[in-house]
Chains A and B, each alone.
Chain A
Amino acid sequence: MTISETDQQPRERDEVFLELTRSICPVCKRTIDAEVNARENQVFLRKRCPEHGEFEARVYGDAEMYVDIQRFNKPGTRPLQTQTVVKDGCPSDCGLCPEHKQHACLGIIEVNTGCNLDCPICFADSGSPRANGPDGYSITLEQCATMLDAFVAAEGEPEVVMFSGGEPTIHPDILAMIDLAQERPINAVNLNTNGIRLASDKSFVAELGRRNRPGRRVNIYLQFDGLEAATHTAIRGRDLRGIKQKALDNCAEAGLTVTLVAAIEKDVNEHEIGPIIRHGLGHPAVRSVAFQPVTHSGRHVEFDPLTRLTNSDVLHSIADQLPQWFTLSDFFPVPCCAPTCRSITYLITQGHPDDPDFGLVPVPRLLQVEDYLDYVSNRVIPDYAIREALEKLWSASAFVGTETNDERLTQVAEALDCADACGVNLPEALAGITDNAFMIVVQDFQDPYTLNVRQLMKCCVEEITPDGRLIPFCAYNSVGYREEIRAKMRSVEVAPVVPNALPLQPQLAATPYGSKRVSP
């Protein structure tokens, strides 16, 4: 991006220029042009701010896969309602603005900024200093109702709302908020928690279990970064292993389904990816595992943007660490968002992984998923009902255990089309299949370094704000919307958060919450 080449001989560049897009300056957050390039079979996003210079970040660890999966891209669906008008262009008009390419598959409501943990890594920059600080807040029941109404107005019948924070289980009204969601045409509630209250307060878990009923499911989205003490200390600041196990057991007892959610940080817990899956397969409450390469928004440990982890690194780790069960080709991108944002597989399992006759079949080995979800090649597909079922399964709104999910899995099982062969009625034999279904999700959220407006414009995971907007999750955490909402909620000034990145160190100062800001 410089024009200072002085060599006499023409030289070839060491990278393939894939796309020109827009991003933001990680320091001042202004919108700037960005290039996406492939180099040494990895994908990098590079950009230059006229004031703060050049920035580059690794955005996908497998360039071949990055290019290949672009075809898993579904035409978007317009939401029923947008909340803003287009003025300055993406990502400055959230949201959603009328130019957004996709409706919201998943809406997130952050009910507070306080937490009963002070983790070294937290994209929301939550914790006790925040709770007691000038810009900490908890939403009221009225605000929660407004936010849910905004979501329903935009979506009609949303599939799932997630309550998050902070730590939502310490909000005194959290059960009432779940009731508010369940009174509305929202099929499922996901509760995003560190599990501390679930481990210690059995009557609370029972209350959640009571609310988990057909057509109104409650799933626990449990922070779970690994099985080793060192992992917990590095990411959470204390050893939570006993608490996690107790939380899981209490959920099983209350009939609640659980998603294990692991933040994966380079050189900290990459090696725990396989063991986390195995642990999940062995616990009766766990029906899915979600891996998220650490998002370098909010608070995090110092990192090098050029070596950060991406989705493809997690996918390779799964295949490398559990070769007896998985290959790379068992995972397919979710086509409702940008294909490099989220990849999923479903498994049908039987028994405990330690049993000698434990059974595990990745669903993509049973049918040619690409014949249905490759929207670029396919103008004709074998069966539109199967495509529709796969679309619902390969979606950000998919949670194992909901009736929608069960129905779609059954539909896909029926597509195995050998009804009555050998007197085996497969659909009938598979009637119980949904109880044995297990989902693995790999989701890379964008941060101020990696933000690509092309992906952001099709984001289907939205933060619902107290003023009734739906802001794409990665814009909320990267562009400055989180700071804007905090300032507005408490009528105070909030300094923009800047990534704790290696190249930025000389310019950084600490905030009271552990995140970084520009040195005054």
Chain B
Amino acid sequence: MSAGLDAAAVKACCAAGYSSDLVSLLLGDSYHPGGLTLTRQLFDRVGLRAGQRLVDVASGRGTSTLLAAQEYGARVEGVDLSAGNVALASGAAAAAGLADRAEFHLGDAEDVPLPDGCADVVICECALCTFPDKRTALAEMARLVVPGGRVGITDVAADRDRLPDELTGLTAWIACVADARPLAEYADLAAEAGFRVLTTERHTNALSRMIDQIEARLELFRMTAKPRLEALGIDFAKAGPVLEAARRAVDDGTLDYVLMVAEKPCE
């Protein structure tokens, strides 16, 4: 689809925190696989309880963050790299009457503007794969969480050596997936950051559904804005084979969506 981006540009695009135009076009600004259902499962797996302090790294428009406040009774803070998202999330918190226990901050996952040990639970949904320096991002999560606290992560997992050619070409949505790691590597990275991994789960259906959604959006764009997007280098004729390759990669386990819960050991 978009053949002209180089690796550095991809990193820049992803580091821009999902506000990359093409990713935004194909997925929407607030999308993550599995939707609220998987978010609730994540909260259940980390054992989120009323009164706990939760930090949501890459909180987007704050939907999950506010869900933690409203349904679980947590005190929540969200961090996002996009000022627009922070404003939207703050507005949503005020509208829901949660301004007293939900705050949103502009900030980078690799340098979170919050103090050490400020959280009982840290979550990060569908964002770790986009961070260029995953070690630093996980070290930041380890710094934020108290000893005995937990981190819950959902993300795309990819076995990059086995990715088919169609997917290693720099197509727009794969641009972010291309820096996804296998589940085992996420677990190793978490362990390196000092976490003890408690649970890992595969949520393959969430990814299949994401591919369906990308296909539907592409089809909608083909119907409504084809000349404009072709001028930008999107080749609609290539989209079908790319999506088929993605489906095959999901079927054979090369691409997956995973959930991981890890604990910071008590000293």
A residues sitting closer than 8 Å to B (CB atoms) are 348, 350, 359-362, 365-368, 370-371, 377-382, 416-418, 421-424, 426, 429-430, 432-433, 436
Contacts and interface: CB of A to CB of B under 8 A. Distances in A.
26 contacts: A350-B223, A359-B219, A359-B222, A359-B223, A360-B219, A361-B216, A361-B223, A365-B213, A365-B215, A366-B216, A370-B37, A380-B63, A380-B67, A380-B71, A380-B96, A417-B29, A418-B24, A418-B28, A421-B24, A422-B22, A422-B25, A422-B228, A423-B228, A424-B25, A426-B25, A429-B225
B219 A361 contact: yes
A361 B24 contact: no
Contacts of B221: 424, 429
B40 interface: yes
A348 B222 CA distance: 12
Interface string B22-46: 1011111110000111001000000
A379 B28 contact: no
Nearest to A350: B223
B229 interface: yes
Interface in B83-117: 96
A417 B24 CA distance: 8
B11 interface: no
B78 to A, nearest CB: 14
B228 A424 contact: yes
Nearest to B215: A365
The 10 closest A-B pairs by CB, nearest first: A365-B216, A368-B35, A421-B25, A359-B223, A421-B24, A429-B224, A350-B223, A429-B225, A380-B67, A422-B21
Given A368-B35, A370-B35, A417 B28 contact: yes
B70 interface: yes
A348 B223 contact: yes
Contacts of A418: 24-29
B232 interface: yes
Contacts of B30: 382, 417
B224 A382 contact: no
B66 interface: yes
Contact of A433 (B24, B212, B224, B229): B224
B217 interface: yes
Contacts of A377: 36-37, 40
From A366, A370, A381, A433, residue with most partner B Cβ within 10 Å: A366
A80 to B, nearest CB: 29
Contact of A366 (B40, B217, B228): B217
Contacts of B36: 368, 371, 377-378, 380-382
B22 A421 contact: yes
B38 to A, nearest CB: 10
From B66, B67, B70, B223, residue with most partner A Cβ within 10 Å: B223
Nearest to B228: A424
Interface in B210-253: 212-213, 215-217, 219-225, 228-229, 232
B232 A422 contact: yes
A348 B217 CA distance: 11
B21 A421 contact: yes
A350 B35 CA distance: 29
A4 to B, nearest CB: 46
A424 B229 contact: yes
A318 B212 CA distance: 18
A361 B217 CA distance: 8
Given A424-B25, A429-B224, 12 more contacts: A361-B216, A361-B219, A366-B213, A371-B35, A380-B36, A380-B66, A416-B217, A417-B28, A422-B25, A423-B232, A426-B25, A433-B224
Contacts of A436: 223
Nearest to A425: B225
A429 B224 CA distance: 6
Contacts of A350: 223
A359 B240 CA distance: 13
Interface in B41-71: 61, 63, 66-67, 70-71
A436 B228 CA distance: 20
A367 B228 CA distance: 23
A379 B43 CA distance: 15
Interface in B195-223: 212-213, 215-217, 219-223
B127 to A, nearest CB: 17
Nearest to B34: A368
B70 A379 contact: yes
Contacts of A378: 36
B216 A362 contact: yes
Contacts of A432: 224
A432 B224 CA distance: 9
B98 to A, nearest CB: 10
Contacts of A367: 28
Contacts of B212: 365
Contacts of B220: 348, 359, 361, 366, 416, 430
Nearest to B231: A423
Contacts of A424: 25, 221, 225, 228-229
A167 B22 CA distance: 54
Contacts of B229: 422, 424
A384 to B, nearest CB: 8
A453 B225 CA distance: 49
Contacts of B213: 365-366
Contacts of B40: 377
Contacts of B215: 365
Contacts of A366: 213, 216-217, 220
Contacts of B22: 421-422
A248 to B, nearest CB: 24
Nearest to A364: B216
Contacts of B71: 379-380
A360 B222 CA distance: 10
Contacts of A417: 24, 28-30
Contacts of B27: 418
A426 B29 CA distance: 13
A190 to B, nearest CB: 28
B176 to A, nearest CB: 14
Nearest to B63: A382
